[in-house]
Amino acid sequence: MRHSRTSPLAPARSPAPTGAGGGLLPARELAAAWFLIVLIAVPAWVLTVGQARDMGIGPGATGRSLPLFLLMWVTMTAAMMLPSMAPVALTWVRGIGRRSSGWTRTARTVEFVGGYLLVWTAFGLLAHAALALTGGLVDDRPAAGRWIGAVAFLLAGLYQLGPLKNVCLRHCRDPLGHLVRYAGFRRPARDLRVGVHHGAYCVGCCAGLMVVLIPLGVMNVAAMAGLAGVVFVEKLWSRGPLLARCVGVAFLVFAVLAPFQDWLLPGLRAPMPAMGGG
């Protein structure tokens, strides 16, 4: 095959189970790679929790300017998404290491990660606009928060059950198949393109889940942790697609309840400390 000459990936020693990615790396390398991911993810969560303590839970973008919001957003998404995208990232970075070394390898790795984060940063622009709009509406008419929450849960539920979610989730659950495709990407900026391409599918897979941060609160740590768990299980568990549909149905139920149950809308009420800070 033509891809075999240009691929940065060596042939896998054993086939990877769909969505798990466990067979893409030898056990020792896999353990070391996951340890590195933990070293990155834990500080990202620590920073996110610290930001949540300062900002609290409330409507809108919690008073942050766009640059500061995007910094917060990228940190938050790195904490939430890194574990679930690890199988693809680890295997691609390992392929980079086999075909380059030194500064070239470092530059290619940064290019790949930068492409992934670039897509999430672009999505953060949309999130900031949506939060600013909903925050302004709630400031003018507090009662509107109930209906904004209902619409957000409705859109999230329909998205979870829709075809685009299914296509993107299928992509994220088949890392080996798509890494072979990525190997055919031509230079220049191949690694950047791979990061952008995979990041776009990741955003498509998680967009509905991120929408519910409008009613739940963009700095609601409990909500972020729960959604991160859903993302991880959807992508890596054998019954992940079933979970995605169940979550979609739950969101539709929340959409019906939201106008009458304020506890579902902490992100659309008056600001309050998120972590008990004074």
Q: What is the pLDDT of residue 78?
A: 82
Distance CA 160, CA 131 (A): 21
Please, which contacts does 136-142 make with residues 24 or more away whose CB atoms are closer than 8 Å? 136/60, 138/59, 138/60, 138/268, 139/59, 139/60, 142/270
- How many Cβ atoms are within 10 Å of 172's Cβ, its own excluded? 24
Q: What is the pLDDT of residue 277?
A: 45
- The one-letter code for the residue type at 130 is A
pLDDT tens digits for the chain (278 residues)? 444 444 444 333 333 333 444 444 556 555 655 666 677 777 777 887 877 776 666 666 556 678 888 888 888 888 888 777 777 777 777 776 666 666 777 777 788 888 888 999 999 999 989 988 888 888 888 888 899 999 999 999 999 999 999 999 988 887 667 677 776 777 777 788 888 888 899 999 999 999 999 999 888 888 988 999 999 899 888 898 999 999 999 999 999 999 998 888 888 876 554 444 44
Q: What is the pLDDT of residue 211?
A: 94
Q: What is the pLDDT of residue 89?
A: 73
My answer on whether omega of the bond before 43 falls inside 30° of 0, hence cis, is: no
Give the DSSP H or E segment for 269: none
Q: In which residue are the tokens 């957000």 written?
A: 152
Q: What is the pLDDT of residue 249?
A: 97
Distance CA 69, CA 137 (A): 19
Phi, psi of 22 (to 5 degrees): -70, -25
Q: Which of 137, 133, 119, 121 is nearest to 69 (CA)?
A: 121
Distance CA 190, CA 90 (A): 16
- How many Cβ atoms are within 10 Å of 137's Cβ, its own excluded? 17
Q: In which residue are the tokens 């302004």 written?
A: 136
Q: What is the pLDDT of residue 82?
A: 78
- How many Cβ atoms are within 10 Å of 141's Cβ, its own excluded? 11
